[in-house]
Amino acid sequence: MDFEITSGNARIRGAFYPALQPQSPCLIICHGMPSGPRILGSETNVPFDEGLTYQEIAQLFVSVGIGTVIFNFRGTGASTGDYHPMGWVADLEAVISWILVRPEIDPSNLGILGSSMGAVIAIVVASQREDIRFLVTYAGPSTVTSPLDPAENIDRYRNMGIIRTPGFPHDPDSWAREFDSISPIDQIGKINSDHILLVHGDSDDVVPVEAVYQLGELAPAHTTIHVVEGAGHRFRSESQSIEVIVDWMVKVCGFDL
pLDDT at 43: 41
The pLDDT confidence band at residue 46, using thresholds 50, 70 and 90, is: very low
**Mean pLDDT in the chain?**
93
Residue 111, CA distances (Å) to 26, 130, 167, 173, 206 in order: 6, 11, 36, 33, 25
pLDDT at 248 over 80: yes
pLDDT at 35: 61
Residue 231: name the closest of 251, 250, 249, 204 by CA: 204
Average pLDDT over residues 133-155: 96
pLDDT at 123 over 90: yes
Instruction: State pLDDT tens for residues 193-233.
Output: 999 999 999 999 999 999 999 999 999 999 999 999 999 99
Spell out the domain ranges in the chain: 2-252
Peptide bond connecting 169 to the previous residue in cis, omega within 30 degrees of 0: yes
Handedness of CA 188, 54, 116, 89 (dihedral sign): negative
pLDDT at 142 over 60: yes
Question: Which amino acid does the sequence have at 194?
Answer: D
Could you tell me which CATH class the domain 2-252 is placed in?
Answer: alpha beta
Cα–Cα dist 234/236, whole Å: 6
Average pLDDT over residues 110-135: 97
